[in-house]
């Protein structure tokens, strides 16, 4: 009976230490918001207070599932996918997703998911991209850290295992009629 109690206490002690470590993790996004003209460069950042095993970028259009863009594993790694370039710093704590020439159809939610050997706390932040003086578009960047097994679900594109909070940005497009509707909604 004593051995069993000691094992349970040991496991509880380890879990307690892990929880304290997880709570202490920080994730920051910068800048909070930005305005650019159509064709300008947009940089989204994902910054962790601890080293990551891997970092993945996704793009999600309103009402649709996230679409995998790329994964970064090595320090100093730079990858490109279509019009996007992603960078991972040497210490594997910070990543940047760069869009060289923003277009209205680039309006979407961009997600950053980092894997770690222990579970991480989730935080969110939003970047606003405004193309031209009258065409508001949104870039929301979610920074999600979750158990490694969830990342495997994401890679398999399963719809049942993503712990992602959904934000409905509305239907935004380059169409002038849609922009008029967006402007009307903003003034209400």
Token duo for residue 61: 């259009």
185 or 121, greater pLDDT: 121
CA angle 55, 45, 88 (to 5 degrees): 45
Residues of the chain with pLDDT > 90: what percent? 6
Query: Do residues 99 and 84 lie in contact, with contact meaning Cβ atoms separated by under 8 Å?
Result: yes
Residue-level pLDDT at 165: 27
Average pLDDT, the chain: 59
Kindly report, residue by residue over 20-67, the tens digit of the pLDDT: 334 345 555 555 555 667 888 988 888 887 887 888 888 888 888 888
Instruction: Just give the CATH number of 29-187.
Output: 2.60.40.10
CA distance 125 to 102: 20
Q: Please list, in sequence order, all residues whose beta carbon lies within 8 angstroms of the beta carbon of residue 145, skipping any fewer than 6 positions away.
A: 25, 27, 48, 113, 114, 116, 119, 120, 121, 122
Confidence of residue 174 (pLDDT cuts 50, 70, 90): very low
């Amino acid at each position: 009976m004593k051995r069993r109690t000691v094992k349970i206490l040991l496991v509880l002690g380890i879990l307690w230490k892990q929880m304290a470590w997880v709570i202490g993790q920080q994730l920051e996004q910068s800048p909070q918001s930005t305005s650019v003209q159509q064709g300008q460069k947009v940089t989204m950042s994902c910054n962790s207070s601890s080293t990551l095993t891997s970092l993945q970028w996704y793009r999600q259009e309103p009402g649709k599932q996230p679409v995998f863009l790329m994964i970064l594993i090595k320090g100093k790694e730079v990858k490109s996918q279509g019009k996007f370039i992603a960078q991972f710093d040497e210490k594997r704590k910070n990543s940047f997703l760069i869009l060289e020439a923003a277009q209205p159809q680039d309006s979407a939610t961009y997600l950053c998911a980092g894997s770690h050997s222990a579970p991480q706390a989730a935080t969110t932040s939003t970047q606003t991209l405004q193309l031209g003086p009258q065409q508001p578009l949104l870039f929301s960047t979610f920074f999600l850290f979750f158990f490694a097994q969830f990342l495997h679900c994401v890679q398999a594109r399963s719809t049942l295992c993503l712990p992602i909070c959904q934000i409905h940005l509305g239907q935004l497009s380059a169409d002038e009629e849609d922009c008029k509707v967006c402007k009307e909604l903003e003034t209400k």
